Every structure is written in structure tokens, then in C-alpha cells.
Amino acid sequence: MLNTFDILETIKMIEEEHLDIRTVTMGISLRDCISDSIVRATQRIYDKICRSAERLVPTAESIEREYGIPIVNKRISVTPVSLLCDAVETDYVGAFAHTLERAAKTIGVNYVGGYSALVHKGFTKGDRRLIRSIPEALTETDCVCASINVATTRAGINMDAVALCGEIIKRASELTADRESVACSKIVVFANAPEDNPFMAGAFHGVGEAECAINVGVSGPGVVAAAVKRAGDCSFTELAETIKRTAFKITRMGQLVAAEASRRLGAEFGIVDLSLAPTPAVGDSVADVLESMGLETVGTHGTTAALALLNDAVKKGGVMASNHVGGLSGAFIPVSEDAGMITAARSGALTLDKLEAMTAVCSVGLDMFAVPGDTPASTISAIIADEISIGVINNKTTAVRIIPAAGKTVGDEVSYGGLFGSAPVMPVHSGSSERFVARGGRIPAPIHSQRN
């Protein structure tokens, strides 16, 4: 018989500490949908997604019910759509985004990722078409997410792509000025993008992936925060141990759901992503974990060290709990989606510079933060270049999801509600980066990329 204490602990985690499966994401290859006719290609995409993911939502719901564990999001990721843009004879490729949206609505998922291009070393014709279409495509759709990989540790940084991303993001912000520049919340610029990430907005189904795979993202900052609080004023050794144990338990649940979902859907078991993903709900915050370690507010001195400890302990605990670990796997620090981060940004305790430092020791990067609407495109590109450099040099994934809040300035906020939360507009440095960004070309790969 199971231990009563263990059973009640699990129920408490779910009921009171917001433990959940954040996402079950089905990755679907669209490589067999390529056609020179955009009409034929979009028809194939629609049919393939509807066929492959027909049972995704009901299956996830039945697992949710039987195991008593909430699965918050059911999502789809697809082959980077730029690969399909190469072949078509038309220049405007927004129809692909509309098709993804239509398929997502039919099968009942809330987001579809993969309106993406991988341009870390250069652009193809299709890459340029896709990237140029992003602002309009994301303005005209609700649940399609775009991502652009502009750098890898092996290839260096494509600064032409970084410059272009600044302009694209700025345009997306202006086009959705009447909706809190919401299009920007669906665009991620990556370095070292993982091909099996289940989390939006950066999910896509890489070309090295199987025909169809299930990737699961777990959550649980609330559970970790509660464990840290219970541990009291213990030493760092004991603190790390507490987090490892908790991460192990959280990840085992993800492993169980991923194995069960892939079995029932007849899809490949892809990976479990160990990320601690916060929500704006009180008690579901990564900032809360850091503050529980003894920091008065997130953003103060000691924050980077606390985050480094947390991120490392989560990985150590999680790795042993799953057959295959992948995706982003680490702590997320999106500003708008975390109640503690919102409070710290609002009070000025958390600055953009500190946020950048934090991203050097955790997964992802500068995420869901707002800057003044009049921030020049070149400054946005320079912010991206800084963040991408951290990823390239440290051999890790970094990303930028920046919201230039059209018509707003410091002191204002953008507010989305739901999982996206709200973000106070943070100040940026006023010195121009225009001449730097305008150089173009590629920043060469770092010396430690030469591993062969």
C-alpha cells in the first residue's frame, strides 16, 4: 500500500501549489506537404494536422481526468514553415499562417508553433518570405506563433537577421497598436533553438524529428516555492537537495503523462521539458521561489546566484526522473507571466540589465517584457544581439520576446489577461546602437565551437 503521507502530499501539490502539466505538445512534420502551389500546400497542411492531431485534445482530457492532474494547454508544433515557403511560386506566404490557425481551431488546440525560420547562417528565399510576412500574419491570426533562430554556437550570429528582427518586431507592434501590441507576444528570436521545445511561442518541430512526436512541459514553481519555505533557514547544500527532490517528483509526473499520451496517440515519445514555468496566478511564481530563498525582492543583489542554484538543482532532480529530457529545461523568467516579476518590474527593483544577467544562468532569456513604443528598431536589434551573444558564447539557448508597447511609455503597462498576464513598460538605455546594428554580416562563431 502506498504511504498516506505521500498520497496527501501529491494532492496538496495539485490543489494548493498549482502543480500541473503546462503543455502536451504534438510535433507534426509537414515535410510531405511541400508543393509549388500554395493552394495545394495549404490544403495538405490542413489535412495532415487535422488527421494527426484529431484525438490530441480528447486524449489529453481523458488522461487529465484519470490521473487527476490538470493539463493546462494542448498544442501543436510543426516543421519550420519557411521550408514550405521555398517551393511556392507566390511571394506573400501569409496563407500558411491562416491555414495553421484554421487547423488549430478545428482540432481545438490553443496555440500552434512553427511559423518559423532558421537563419543562423543565412537566408534562403523562403526564409525571407516567411520573416517578411510575420507582422501581418500574426496580426491577422490569434493562435499562430513565430520564431526565428538567428544564431548558433557553431555558426555564430547572423547580424543581418538580427537587424531584420528589430524591424519586424517594431512593425508587428504598430500593426497591433490597438490590441496592446499583442503580435509581439507571439514572436521569439532565438540562439541555439531546440528542435523539440513544447513551450510557446518558440515551439517548432525540427527537421531531425520523427513524423509525429509528443513533447511534454511540466510546471510547478509553486511546489518548489512551498518546499523552499518549508525548508526554512537551512544551508545552501540542504536547499539544493530540497529543490532536487521536488523537481524529481514533478518530472516523474511529466514522464508518466508523456509516456501515456504518446502510447494512446500512437506517436513517438519525444521529450519531457523540465522547465519551471510560472503563471500570473499568486503562488505560481519563479520570483517567489527566489524570494523564498531570502531575497527581499527579485532583482536585488544575489538574484543571479539564487537563480543559478535553482536552475541547476531543477535539472539535476529532473534528469533522473525522465527517459528523455529536452526542450528548454530550466527556470523561465517571463516578466508579464509571473506575479513576482511584475511587482519587481513595477517598483523598479528589477531592471532590464539585471534581467539580462539572470538569463545567463537559466533557460530561455529576455521574455515577455515591454519597452517604450518609441524604442528605435536598432535598439531592439541591439537588445536581441546582446541576449543572443550570451547564448552563443555559453553554448545554451537564449531567446528574446520583446514587446515595444505602441503608444506607451515608462509608467504604463500592457495587459493581456490569462496566462500572458501584464507587463510594466521598462526603460531602455537612450544611447543609440544604430551604427553598430547597421554593419550587417555575421559575428563569427566563438573559438570553443571548434570541437572536432
Partner 1 sequence: MRAVITVVGKDTVGIIAEVTGLLSKHGVNVMDISQSILQELFAMVMLVDFSGCDVTFDELARMLERRGEELGVKIHVMHEDIFTSMHKI
Which residues contact residue 175 at a Cβ distance below 8 angstroms, ignoring those fewer than 6 apart?
Answer: 135, 136, 139, 183
C-beta atoms surrounding 281 within 10 Å: 14
Question: Residues 199-238: x/- map of binding to partner 1 (CB under 8 A)?
Answer: ----------------------------------------
Question: Residues 62-101: x/- map of binding to partner 1 (CB under 8 A)?
Answer: x--xxxxx--------------------------------
Which of 2-10, 164-172, 216-224, 417-425 is the region at the interface with partner 1 (rule: CB under 8 A)? 2-10
Give min distance, CB of 56 to partner 1, in A.
Answer: 18
**Is the CB of 51 or the CB of 245 nearer to partner 1?**
245
Question: In Å, how far are 79, 114, 115, 204, 214 from 30, measured between CA atoms?
Answer: 5, 10, 12, 11, 15
Which of 8-16, 23-31, 224-232, 309-317 is the region at the interface with partner 1 (rule: CB under 8 A)? 8-16
Give min distance, CB of 382 to partner 1, in A.
Answer: 45
Q: Does 245 participate in binding partner 1 (rule CB under 8 A)?
A: no
Q: Which of 73, 255, 275, 292 binds partner 1 (CB under 8 A)?
A: 255
Give min distance, CB of 121 to partner 1, in A.
Answer: 42
Instruction: Assess contact for 420 and 336: CB atoms under 8 A.
Output: yes
Which of 4-12, 76-84, 170-178, 282-290 is the region at the interface with partner 1 (rule: CB under 8 A)? 4-12
What would the DSSP string read from start to end of 257-319? HHHHHHHHHT-EEEEEE--B---SSTT--HHHHHHHTT-SSTTSTTHHHHHHHHHHHHHHHHH
Instruction: Assess contact for 79 and 204: CB atoms under 8 A.
Output: yes
Subset of residues 50 to 69 that bind partner 1, contact rule: CB under 8 A: 62, 65-69
Query: For partner 1, how many residues bind (rule: CB under 8 A)?
Result: 21
Subset of residues 270 to 309 that bind partner 1, contact rule: CB under 8 A: none
What would the DSSP string read from start to end of 344-357? HHHHTSS-HHHHHH
Q: Which of 55, 98, 252, 354 binds partner 1 (CB under 8 A)?
A: 252
Q: Does 256 participate in binding partner 1 (rule CB under 8 A)?
A: yes
Q: Does 253 participate in binding partner 1 (rule CB under 8 A)?
A: yes
Burial of 340 (0-12, 13-18, 19+ CB in 10 A): buried
Q: d(Cα 124, Cα 131) in Å, to the nearest integer?
A: 11
Q: Does 447 participate in binding partner 1 (rule CB under 8 A)?
A: no
Q: Which of 1, 208, 417, 452 binds partner 1 (CB under 8 A)?
A: 1
Bridge partners (DSSP) listed for residue 276: 331
Hey, is 360 helix, strand or coil?
coil
Q: Which of 10, 297, 304, 389 binds partner 1 (CB under 8 A)?
A: 10
Q: d(Cα 155, Cα 293) in Å, to the nearest integer?
A: 38
Binding residues for partner 1, rule: CB under 8 A, are: 1-4, 6-11, 62, 65-69, 249, 252-253, 255-256
